[in-house]
């Protein structure tokens, strides 16, 4: 459960393990008891536990279990349409088991897809990438596509979809290992190591004629640098602002030149998947097709242990995870790990 809202960094002290008698009760008619197997560690969880009570994102109160997207298996059912053994993906919490209404916001994972694949190349991060790039970014062959957080679970899929769509893709990531993976496994031709290279100089070299699409996972200075280079009719897709999540306070716009936006007819558009439910089937069809053809590389960083959840989550903010970060709570048979 949430012990205190993080002031800056996410640390173990923000959380407390609470054991005790089963608080789940017996559930009510229509509900199912789910044993969580995998919990997604996504940067946005940092915002949900921040204690900010803005109306526009889920808020976790002190003493409540931490919210997270999760995949689990029905181990007891009071809903005949969801028999024991059904795997569900959807809103979970940092608990081993949970009674829930499976008809609200959950997706059944079909047999033949591994749990990890359902959280990885066919998971919510990949769907988010598809939705943001294809629906908001509207990539056309020859477009210059800049992606920040390019080695992340969303960014790496964005970069590869951009490559499939015929864009000139420029990825920004930190460190030689991530760059090598992007180049060799993901086929991203142009890369910037923001930790060791001068971003502005590299952008001037790699996209001297400007940028058509900037897919922003980072915010802050990277967003300002990209905005200053947008071509007329360019699109900036706002997906995350991870550079600022640990900063406390509201995350405000960096110094973007407003007149450039006007004269260039530049569009800046935020998005989260839940406002685009109609896109999910299209996204999954494309992603399954591309994955089957080997066109999209993906890697998952699966860290075992319920008790390690705080440390696992905090890896995101030091940039030390490699791929989609997933906490494994139990094995496929339901035994704790």
- Contact positions vs a second copy (CB under 8 A): 47, 54, 56-57, 219, 232-233, 238-241, 244, 250-272, 275-276
Phi, psi of 190 (to 5 degrees): -110, 125
> 130 or 306, CB closer to a second copy?
130
CB of 53 to a second copy, least distance (A): 13
> Which residue, 166 or 232, has its beta carbon nearer to a second copy?
232
In whole angstroms, give the CA distance from residue 126 to residue 218. Answer: 17
Rank residues 111 and 209 by Cβ distance to a second copy and give the closer one.
209
Kindly state the smallest distance separating residue 245's Cβ from a second copy, in Å. 9
Closest approach of a second copy to the CB of residue 252, in Å: 4
Quick one: tokens of 209?
A: 């004629």
Give min distance, CB of 213 to a second copy, in A: 14
Residues 6+ apart with CB under 8 A from 149: 155, 172, 173, 217, 218, 240, 242
Burial of 209 (0-12, 13-18, 19+ CB in 10 A): exposed
> How many CB atoms are located within 10 Å of the residue 103 CB?
12
Provide, rounded to whole angstroms, the least separation between the CB of residue 48 and a second copy: 11
Q: How many CB atoms lie within 10 A of CB 127?
A: 23
Closest approach of a second copy to the CB of residue 265, in Å: 4
Closest CA to 102 of 124, 128, 84, 120: 84
**Closer to a second copy by Cβ: residue 25 or 249:** 249
Closer to a second copy by CB, 272 or 337: give it: 272
Q: Which is nearer to a second copy, 163 or 229 (CB)?
A: 229
Rounded Cα distance between 129 and 153, Å, is 9
Q: Rounded to the nearest whole angstrom, what is the least distance from the CB of residue 98 to a second copy in the complex? A: 24
When the beta carbons of 219 and 310 are compared against a second copy, the nearer one is 219
Q: Which is nearer to a second copy, 134 or 239 (CB)?
A: 239
Residue 130 φ then ψ, to 5°: -60, -50
Rounded Cα distance, 234 and 260, in Å: 11
* Nearest to a second copy of 256, 295 (CB atom): 256
Q: How far is the CB of 45 from a second copy (least distance, A)?
A: 13
Q: Which residue has the tokens 């996504």?
A: 42
Instruction: Find the helix packing angle between 199-206 and 220-227, rounded to 10°.
Output: 30
Distances (CA, A) of 65 to 76, 90, 324: 21, 15, 22
User: Measured between alpha carbons, how far is 210 from 232 in angstroms, rounded to an integer?
Assistant: 9
What tokens were used for 305? 């242990």
- Residue 258: which residues within 8 A CB-CB, separation 6 or more? none
Shortest reach from residue 230's CB to a second copy, in Å = 10
Dist CA 110 CA 217 (whole Å): 30
């Amino acid at each position: 459960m949430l012990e205190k809202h993080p002031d800056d960094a996410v640390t173990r002290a923000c959380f407390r393990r609470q054991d005790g008698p089963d608080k789940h009760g017996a559930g009510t008619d229509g509900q199912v008891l789910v044993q969580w197997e995998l919990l997604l560690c996504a940067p946005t969880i940092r915002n949900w536990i921040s204690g900010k009570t803005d109306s526009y994102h889920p808020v976790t109160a002190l003493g409540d279990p931490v919210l997270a997207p999760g995949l689990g298996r029905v181990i007891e059912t009071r809903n005949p349409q969801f028999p024991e053994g059904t795997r569900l993906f959807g809103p979970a919490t940092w608990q081993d088991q949970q009674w829930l209404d499976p008809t609200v916001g959950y997706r059944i994972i079909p047999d033949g897809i591994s749990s990890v694949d359902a959280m990885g190349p066919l998971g919510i991060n990949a769907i988010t990438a598809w939705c943001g790039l294809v629906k908001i970014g509207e990539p056309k062959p020859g477009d210059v596509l800049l992606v920040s957080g390019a080695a992340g679970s969303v960014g790496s899929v964005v970069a590869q979809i951009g490559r499939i769509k015929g864009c000139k893709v420029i990825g920004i990531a930190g460190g030689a290992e991530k760059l090598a993976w992007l180049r060799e496994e993901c086929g991203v031709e142009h890369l910037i190591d923001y930790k060791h290279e001068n971003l502005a100089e590299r952008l001037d070299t790699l996209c001297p004629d400007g940028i058509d699409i900037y897919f922003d996972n980072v915010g802050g200075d990277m967003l300002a640098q990209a905005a200053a280079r947008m071509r007329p009719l360019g699109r900036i897709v706002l997906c995350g602002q991870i550079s600022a999540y640990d900063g406390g306070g509201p995350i405000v716009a960096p110094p973007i030149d407003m007149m450039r936006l006007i004269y260039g007819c530049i569009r800046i558009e935020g998005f989260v998947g839940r406002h685009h439910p109609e896109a999910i089937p299209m996204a999954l069809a494309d992603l399954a097709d591309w994955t089957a053809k080997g066109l999209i590389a993906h890697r998952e960083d699966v860290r075992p242990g319920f008790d390690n959840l705080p440390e696992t989550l905090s890896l995101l903010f030091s940039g030390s995870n490699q791929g989609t970060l997933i906490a494994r709570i139990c094995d496929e048979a339901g035994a704790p790990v």
